[in-house]
Amino acid sequence: MEADGASRGNPGHASYGTVIRNANTGEVVAERAAVLGHATNNVAEYSGLVAGLRAIAELDPEALVEVRMDSKLVVEQMSGRWKIKSPDMQKLALVAREILPYGNVTYTWIPREDNKHADALANEALDTHLAGGSGIIERP
């Protein structure tokens, strides 16, 4: 799973994007993106994580998941190496931890260039919303 967040203004208009892939083939299984309203980029990143984990739980509640994100903050916090100080992010982290069984999810930091698909989804949702659309993407 790859996830990303976007915030224009930070805080500002925010959204997330997440891509679920088959680990064996790399094939895209699902895409999710949505506008969050006014939020920070970090909250948008965490929201993408939560949305992706929820999508996976719908597909297979016992799945083993590698979360790949370009947010060092989220990866380190969710891996338990960094403290989560923000109350908003604490709440989202708690939600994320409860979606799939403990130990079924690992976190890997990836360079921004390797997270372009999730980033594009986040921006597509935001652009669609700002143009008068729903700002929600659910594929398939």
Q: Note the pLDDT tens digit of each residue in 28-65.
A: 999 999 999 999 999 999 999 999 999 999 999 999 99
**CATH code (residue 121):** 3.30.420.10
Convert the pLDDT of each residue in 74-112 to its tens digit.
999 999 999 999 999 999 999 999 999 999 999 999 999
| Pairing between β-strand 28-39 and β-strand 12-21 as defined by DSSP bridges | antiparallel
Return the percentage of the chain with pLDDT > 70, whole number: 100
What pLDDT does residue 120 have? 98
**Per-residue confidence at 113, pLDDT binned at 50, 70, 90?**
very high
- pTM of the entire predicted model: 0.97
Number of domains in the chain: 1
The amino acid that residue 53 corresponds to is: L
pLDDT at 110: 98
Determine contact, residues 140/27, Cβ cutoff 8 Å.
no
pLDDT at 59: 95
Looking at residue 9, what is its pLDDT? 94
In 3D, which of 44, 34, 2 has the Cα closest to residue 19? 2
In which domain, by residue range, is 24 found? 2-139
- Token readout for 84 is 């989560």
Strand order in the sheet with 12-21: 105-109, 65-69, 2-8, 12-21, 28-39, 136-139
